[in-house]
Amino acid sequence: MTWNSTGGARVDGQRPAGDYRAIIERLALDSADQFVLAQLRGASYRTVAINVIPSSAAGSDDYSGPTWDVVRIGEPDTSGPDSPLSKSRSFHINTSTGLIDRCFSQEGSETIVAEMTGWVDRFGESVPTRITWSRDGQPVMELNLNGVAHGPKQ
């Protein structure tokens, strides 16, 4: 399985059938790396909100939990069978750590949430060791990273 900005999702060089396309896009695009690399595709970045608190804490004068800055990344205007299923993603960046806690995307009428946890430092780069995707609060996919390796710098 592969994904790139010009050819989209592929399985053995062919357009994927069924759920494979959604799985490939989730793995490739709902990531901290793509938060940065989307610039190379000509994506637009927009800060939607700063210091957001959970709706359950709304109106609370003593809330002391995490807050997030929300950045929406819009994919370049493309159409066709290889364009991403979700035209935009909203990343929730933890204001205390500077790391991405969640990524929200749309697949049709459904909202998919990717939660990134277990951040570790590997060779000077922060990497989430667990990403859990959910739909309507129910987990649909999980990725657990057991190791990270980097090739030689070029």
DSSP state of 15: P
Cα dihedral across residues 95, 97, 101, 105: positive or negative: positive
Has residue 115 been placed in a domain?
yes
Within 10 A of 41 (CB to CB), how many other CB atoms are there? 16
Has residue 76 been placed in a domain?
yes
Within 10 A of 62 (CB to CB), how many other CB atoms are there? 5
- Find the domain containing 41 and state its range: 2-54+65-144
Alpha carbon distance 134, 82 (integer Å): 24
Has residue 152 been placed in a domain?
no
Alpha carbon distance 98, 61 (integer Å): 24
Q: What's the chain's length in residues? A: 154
DSSP 72-84: EEEPPS--STTS-
Global pTM?
0.84
Has residue 114 been placed in a domain?
yes
Task: Identify the helix (H) or strand (E) that includes residue 23.
Answer: helix 20-29
Has residue 59 been placed in a domain?
no
Q: What are the distances in angstroms from CA 126 to CA 56, 84, 95, 119, 148? A: 29, 26, 15, 6, 11
Number of domains forming the structure of the chain: 1
Has residue 97 been placed in a domain?
yes
CB 90 within 8 Å of CB 71: yes
Residue that has been written with the tokens 């990403």 in this structure? 131
Has residue 60 been placed in a domain?
no
pLDDT digits (tens, 9 = 90+) for 26-71: 888 888 888 888 888 888 999 999 999 988 887 788 898 999 999 9
Low-confidence spans in the chain with pLDDT less than 50: none
Has residue 39 been placed in a domain?
yes
Q: Write the CB contacts of 116 (distance below 8 Å, at least 6 apart in sequence).
A: 32, 99, 100, 101, 102, 103, 128, 130, 131
